[in-house]
Structure formats: C-alpha cells, structure tokens
A and B are shown apart, each in its own frame.
Chain A
Amino acid sequence: EAGVAQSPRYKIIEKRQSVAFWCNPISGHATLYWYQQILGQGPKLLIQFQNNGVVDDSQLPKDRFSAERLKGVDSTLKIQPAKLEDSAVYLCASRGQGLNSPLHFGNGTRLTVT
C-alpha cells in the first residue's frame, strides 16, 4: 500500500510570512494526525482528525496555526504568521481501524523560518 504522502519536503520562509503543508493519508484511514518535531525532541501532537472532524486540538497554537480536512481525506496545516520558533519538521500520520492499529507517518516537511 502507498504510504502517507506529504509535501513540500522542505520550506524556507521569513518570519511573519505564511506557509501551508499538505498531507495525503493512506487510503481508508479515518484518523489523521499532525505532529510538530523540533530538532532533538520527540514529535508533539498538534491536532487529530477523525474523518473531517477535530478530535483534539488542545496543543495547536490557534492564534497562528490552522488545519482542515474538508472531505475527510487530504489535510492541510497552515501557519500564519510564522515565528522563528516554528522551525521544525511537521509530520502527518494516519491510522486505520482497530484499537492498537499503528500510526503510519509520512517523512514530514522541514520548515525553516529565518
């Protein structure tokens, strides 16, 4: 099966600019996650979707970050305006049915804010 696709692979922007990341999960996976991974740290959950509904966005900085999954398939994560501390890898993951079904991660988008 095809894995989780993310684009772009790399992005460099200046602070106060806006940026968007795209994720296409594994076909049929209803649950989708966005994680932020700062260099040297483990991934931190930003938002979780079940189909096109938000399950948990408690750690999403809502003043600048937004995410959507309009048709319950693809998802986009947006940052506007970006800050220097947003420099990180943004990982998308999806999960199939079943209590302990594993998360499948994409290879992420590496964002550098200058």
Chain B
Amino acid sequence: DAKTTQPNSMESNEEEPVHLPCNHSTISGTDYIHWYRQLPSQGPEYVIHGLTSNVNNRMASLAIAEDRKSSTLILHRATLRDAAVYYCILRPPNNNAGNMLTFGGGTRLMVKP
C-alpha cells in the first residue's frame, strides 16, 4: 500500500485557520485521499476525501496538489473541539482486502485558546 507522511504534531491558535499537510509521493493514479480525525477517548471519525479536485464540506476543505503527491487538510477556523489526531490515508478503489483503511501515526493538533 502507498504510504503517507505527516508531521507528528502541530499547534494552532483558536479561531485561526489550520493547514495540516500530508505527503504521499507514491500515490497511484486511482488512490483516493481520505482524512479521518480522532478526538480524545473516541473512535476515529470521517472528515473528507478526494481524488484530484479540491473538496469542501461542512467540516473542512481538502486541497490536493496538481501532481497528487501531497494534500492539505484545511480547518478554516480552529476551535478547541478540533484538538485531535488527524489521519491522512490513501484508499485504493478496489483493493484485494476490500477497501480497508490503513492508518499511520497521524498528526496531533493542539489548539490554544
């Protein structure tokens, strides 16, 4: 499986935008880029996904580089409730294991008031 590289941790101030980077230089042309986050003492939750074009939803925006070797999750105004571990995951469209997700270590986002 193609791997992703994320910083171990990042800090942000409350109500400021946050850009969480992810490198995936070995991404294949059909891999989708998924982001999940895990709040303390909870299971991971889906944030957003994309293939080539930038994507927006109520939680965040996903900016995908033109060569698809990197992507950035954007939280437009961080709140204290956004403090979590954010996982960037590549998901093949139809892998033999049936579309499981392989998690890396993620980025721990700390939000300061």
Contact = CB atoms under 8 A, between A and B. Distances in A.
B102 interface: yes
Interface in B72-110: 85, 87, 91, 93-94, 97-106
Interface residues on B, range: 20 to 34
A53 B104 CA distance: 27
Interface stretch (B21-29, B37-45, B61-69): B37-45
A73 interface: no
Interface string A45-66: 1001010000110100000000
B32 A42 contact: no
A111 interface: no
Interface residues of A, number: 26
A105 interface: yes
Interface in A30-55: 31, 33, 35, 41-45, 48, 50, 55
A55 B98 contact: yes
Interface of A: 4, 31, 33, 35, 41-45, 48, 50, 55-56, 58, 91, 93, 95, 99-100, 102-108
7 contacts: A45-B100, A48-B97, A99-B93, A103-B101, A104-B45, A105-B42, A106-B43
